[in-house]
């Protein structure tokens, strides 16, 4: 996407040549960039709304064993690509304006627009970094929860939680965890220090949100089972307890 955007800009796709037919100018300068943006947003919506599996992944590292919710890469990538495409299309419009309009004030408008587009590209860079970082958005560990967002993260001991999460109302929503002991929560990055609420980013996790919420609440309600998180056979037992066991 970055290569295509650079070729479109450098190759002068934003230019409207008077020697070209009107339909060609319209397609090159407006219709094609718009179709790319809307197409990528459609992929983003489809990726967020498609069914997710009610399973966690067993993971082990230097910090110990854990159940993790893997990152769902497609919607993040589609969102980043659509922002790149939109930014490049708007940059082309500003360049076209600078080339065709000779009024002095147009440079002030162009400066403001390029500043705003730079901010959009900064948020896009955050999405791109999220695609390649080796962390998981949600981790369940014997010591507590580890929640990572696009701008930081929280390490939440089980003892710090006063109320568990509820299932989200939509695919774009997050579940809120109430914190009774914010002094126990460790924060990283730009995440808020000593938060009263921590949000589970379901839109970043490739796990069914209801199953994920039920898993968190299960270990909140059964502290005797926390030490077995990540142990062999524990995920199968948890899955049975949250699916088959609830039907009986």
**Per-residue pLDDT tens for 5-26?**
665 565 555 566 666 676 766 6
Supply the range of the domain harboring residue 22. 2-50+73-132
Q: Which pLDDT tens digit goes with each residue over 129-140?
A: 776 776 788 999
Same domain (yes/no): 226, 160:
yes
- Are 43 and 74 spatial neighbours (Cβ–Cβ below 8 Å)? yes
Tell me the mean pLDDT in the region 73-85.
Answer: 84
DSSP bridge partners of 140: 67, 145
Q: What is the pLDDT of residues 101-115, one digit of tens each?
A: 777 777 787 788 888
- Asked if 113 and 232 sit in the same domain, the reply is no
Distances, alpha carbon 236 to alpha carbons 55, 145, 232, in Å? 9, 20, 9
Q: Let me know if 83 is exposed, middle or buried by CB neighbors in 10 A (0-12, 13-18, 19+).
A: buried
Residues 15, 46 within the same domain = yes
- In a shared domain, residues 15 and 117: yes
DSSP state of 190: T
Total tally of structural domains belonging to the chain: 2
- Enter the DSSP assignment of 156: E
For residues 147 and 220, membership in a common domain is answered with: yes
Query: Mean pLDDT, the chain, as a whole number?
Result: 83
- Residues 209 and 162 both lie in one domain: yes
């Amino acid at each position: 996407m970055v290569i295509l955007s650079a070729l479109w800009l450098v190759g002068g796709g934003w230019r409207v040549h008077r020697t070209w037919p009107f339909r060609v100018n319209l397609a090159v300068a407006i219709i094609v960039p718009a179709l790319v943006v809307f197409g990528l947003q459609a992929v983003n919506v489809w990726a967020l709304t498609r069914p997710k599996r009610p399973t966690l992944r067993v993971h082990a590292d230097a910090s110990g064993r854990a159940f993790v919710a893997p990152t769902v890469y497609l919607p993040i990538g589609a969102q980043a690509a659509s922002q790149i495409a939109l930014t490049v299309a708007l940059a082309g419009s500003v360049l076209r304006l600078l080339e065709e309009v000779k009024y002095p004030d147009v440079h002030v408008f162009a400066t403001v627009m390029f500043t705003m587009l730079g901010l959009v590209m900064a948020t896009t860079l955050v999405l791109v970094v999220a695609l390649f970082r080796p962390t998981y958005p949600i981790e369940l560990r014997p010591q507590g929860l580890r929640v990572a967002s696009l701008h930081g993260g929280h390490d939440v001991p089980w003892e710090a939680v006063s109320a568990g999460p509820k299932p989200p109302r939509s695919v774009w929503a997050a579940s809120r965890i109430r914190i009774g002991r914010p002094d126990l929560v460790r924060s990283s990055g730009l995440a808020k220090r000593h938060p009263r609420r921590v949000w589970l980013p379901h839109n970043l996790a490739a796990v069914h949100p209801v199953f994920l919420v039920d898993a968190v609440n299960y270990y909140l309600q059964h502290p005797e089972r926390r030490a077995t998180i990540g142990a062999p056979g524990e995920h199968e037992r948890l899955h049975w307890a949250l699916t088959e066991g609830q039907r009986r």
